[in-house]
Amino acid sequence: MVAGGAAAGHLQVGDVITSVDGTPVTSATTLTGLIKAKPAGTALTFGYTRGGAPGTTSIAAKDDKGTPRVGISIKENQPSPITVSISLANVGGPSAGLMFALGIVDKVEPADLTGGLKIAGTGEIDEDGKVGIIGGIDHKMVAAKRDGASVFLVPAGNCAEALDHQVKGLELVKVTTLDDALHQLETLRAHGTPTACTR
């Protein structure tokens, strides 16, 4: 909680924010987006739970150089019965998000996601499963082909760049979400035609 922030006296450390103006808060990204969606000074109704009891409060976000802020620090805890630990040397940044997510699905699901194909890919992934653009895709495609991949999952926003640096023998498959990536893999396993990258 930021001293003197708009939320001071309204929210407390440990409160779980459940909604903003009636829209459910499912992630930190959603909460930030809801706060920024209206001009600073607009009264927003925050739903929350405190000690297990629900409550609501009205907070008018303050302007911080053109950005509405309420003065809270967000800690995100997604309830899940599964604990995941990933340790991989020399990986920095968010580019491996999609492939980590697919790796986790592959571990918990009985089906083989790739059907024996050697598949590579890249892409940021957010709490809602949306796949975002990344940098350096040309280098990643070269490395994927070098390591024997025949298919490369490409974030939709990177498709034009990937086509500009296309690597011979590497099929470029466009993906927009984690669910979409799973669907494309299912299509590949069934020897169908996945969604190709286009400009």
Q: What average pLDDT does the segment 119-145 reach?
A: 94
193 or 83: which carries more pLDDT confidence?
Answer: 193
Q: Which of 140, 150, 168, 174 is catalytic?
A: 140
Question: According to DSSP H, which parts of 147-190 are helical?
Answer: 159-164, 178-189
Put simply, whether the predicted model's pTM sits higher than 0.85 gets the answer no
Q: Are residues 136 and 63 in the same domain?
A: no
- In a domain? residue 35: yes
Alpha-carbon distance 109 to 113, whole Å? 9
- In a domain? residue 120: yes
9 or 29: which carries more pLDDT confidence?
Answer: 9
Q: What is the pLDDT of residue 86?
A: 77
Q: Are residues 183 and 147 in the same domain?
A: yes
pLDDT band at 126 (very low <50, low <70, confident <90, very high): confident
Q: Which of 38, 62, 75, 95 is catalytic?
A: 95
- In a domain? residue 131: yes
- For 59-78, letters b (16+ CB in 10 Å) and e give bebbeeeeebbbbbeeeeee
Neighbours of 93 (CB within 10 A): 10
- In a domain? residue 6: no
- In a domain? residue 195: no
Q: What is the pLDDT of residue 67?
A: 85
Neighbours of 150 (CB within 10 A): 14
- In a domain? residue 173: yes
Q: Are residues 127 and 178 in the same domain?
A: yes
Q: What is the pLDDT of residue 85?
A: 77
- With a cut of 70, say whether residue 92 has pLDDT above it: no
Phi-psi region of 119 (alpha: psi -120 to 50; beta: other; left: phi over 0): beta
CATH of the domain at 109: 3.30.230.10
Q: Are residues 53 and 124 in the same domain?
A: no
Q: Are residues 64 and 124 in the same domain?
A: no
Radius of gyration in angstroms for the set of CA atoms belonging to the chain, rounded to a whole number: 21
- Range with the poorest average pLDDT among 18-22, 68-72, 139-143, 161-165: 68-72
Q: Are residues 107 and 27 in the same domain?
A: no
Q: Are residues 112 and 47 in the same domain?
A: no
- With a cut of 90, say whether residue 199 has pLDDT above it: no
- In a domain? residue 83: no
* Contact assessment for residue 63 and residue 40, using Cβ atoms and an 8 Å cutoff: yes
Domain that holds residue 105: 97-189
> Is 19 part of the annotated catalytic residue set?
no
- Strand-pair category, 67-69 with 119-121: unpaired
CATH of the domain at 52: 2.30.42.10
> Is 145 part of the annotated catalytic residue set?
no
Percentage of the chain exceeding pLDDT 90: 71
Percentage of the chain exceeding pLDDT 70: 97
- The SS3 of residue 96 is coil
Q: What average pLDDT does the segment 173-193 reach?
A: 97
Q: Are residues 52 and 107 in the same domain?
A: no
Q: What is the pLDDT of residue 8?
A: 93
Query: What are the helix and strand counts (H, E) for the chain?
Result: 5, 11
* Contact assessment for residue 28 and residue 14, using Cβ atoms and an 8 Å cutoff: no
Q: Are residues 102 and 164 in the same domain?
A: yes
Using one digit for the tens of pLDDT, what is the confidence trace for 62-80? 888 878 999 998 888 766 7
Using one digit for the tens of pLDDT, what is the confidence trace for 22-59? 999 988 888 999 999 999 999 999 999 999 999 999 99
Q: What average pLDDT does the segment 109-116 reach?
A: 88
Q: Are residues 106 and 47 in the same domain?
A: no
Q: What's the domain count of the chain?
A: 2
